[in-house]
Amino acid sequence: MCDQEQLARFARGYSRRDFSGVIAAAGGSAILAACNATDAGVDADPSVAAVTGGGVLGGEVAIPTATGTMGGWFYHPASGNHPAVIMWPDIAGVRPASKAMGERLAAEGFAVIVPDPYWRDEGHAMFQDFADFAQNGGFQTVTPWRDRFSADTVMADTASIVAWLDDQDVVDTSRGIGARGHCMTGSWTIYAAHGSPERVKVAGSMHGGGLVTDAATSPHKMIVPTASYLIAIAQDDAAKEPGAEPALKTALAEAGASGTVDVYAGNHGWTVPDSPAYDKPEAERAYAAFLSLVKAM
C-alpha cells in the first residue's frame, strides 16, 4: 500500500484542475458534472448520480452489519438484473474518483457497490480527491482507522456486503460476485474470496499492499480454488519486493486456482484516476483484464 515516501511525492504531484481532466477521461462524466456544479455553488450532491447517458442509476446506501451500519454507493443499470461487483476504494477512501469508477463498471452491465472502508470511524466523504488526502494529513488521519482491519474484519464486512447485494432485485444471484480493490484494499479481494467462496468468484487486486508476508493470514496463503484472480502489481512495488510476484504465482498454482499475476508498467496507484501515478494505458489494460474475468463469472 502507499508508503510515506510515495505520499510525499503525491502531495507535490497533483492539482484540482488535473483531477477534473482524468476523471472525465476515465468515464465518470455524471459524477464529474455534479462535482463541477458543487464547485460553482450549485446545489448538487456528488454522492448521488442521476440516470447517466449510459443508463446507470446510483446513490448512497446503508448496509446492515452485526456491529453497525456500513455506508456505500451503489450503481447499476436502469433495468434488468446483473452480476454484482464489490469495488473497494484505496487508502484515501470513497470520493468522486472511486464513485466514477463504480459508475463506469455499472455501465458495462454490473451492479456495483463502492463500500466505505472507514465506516466504523469518521465515515465517508473525508477527502475530495487524492491531492486533498496527500496534502492535508490524510495518511495520519486514516492510519488508526486502517489499523482496525484484519483478515477477519474484512471477511465479516464482505459477508455483510454479499448478503445485502443478494437481497437487491437488480442483482443476478445466479452469477458470482466479483471483488476489486486498490492499494490497501487489494488484499481484501483475496480475503473476500476466502471468506465467501460460495459467492465471490473473482478477486482483482490493483497495486495491493502486503500480499506476501510471514503472517498466518498473509493473502498469498488464503488463495482458494473457487475463485479466479487478477493480481496486478505496480512496477515500483515489484522493485521493492521482488519476491512477491513469484510467491503469488506459486500460491495460485499450489491452491489450484486460476488467475494471473502480472507486473504492470505503472507505479503504485496507476489504476486510480485522481492519483498522480495514474497511467491511462496501463489502467485500461488492467480494467480490460478484470472486466474479462467478471464477465465470465
Percent of the chain predicted with pLDDT > 70? 80
pLDDT tens, position by position, 19-44: 444 444 444 444 444 333 333 222 33
Could you tell me the pLDDT band of residue 276, with boundaries at 50, 70 and 90? confident
Q: Are 52 and 102 in contact (CB under 8 A)?
A: no
pTM score: 0.84
Domain count, the chain: 1
Distance CA 22, CA 78 (A): 26
How far is C-alpha 14 from the chain's CA centre?
Answer: 21
The CATH number given to whatever domain includes residue 68 is 3.40.50.1820
Q: Are 273 and 279 in contact (CB under 8 A)?
A: no
Q: Give the 3-state secondary structure of residue 31.
A: helix
Could you tell me the pLDDT band of residue 136, with boundaries at 50, 70 and 90? confident
Distance CA 247, CA 229 (A): 14
Q: Are 88 and 182 in contact (CB under 8 A)?
A: yes
Boundaries of domain holding 273: 4-295
| pLDDT at residue 260 is higher than 80 | yes
Q: Give the 3-state secondary structure of residue 64.
A: strand
* Grid coordinates belonging to 68: 453497525
Q: Are 21 and 35 in contact (CB under 8 A)?
A: no
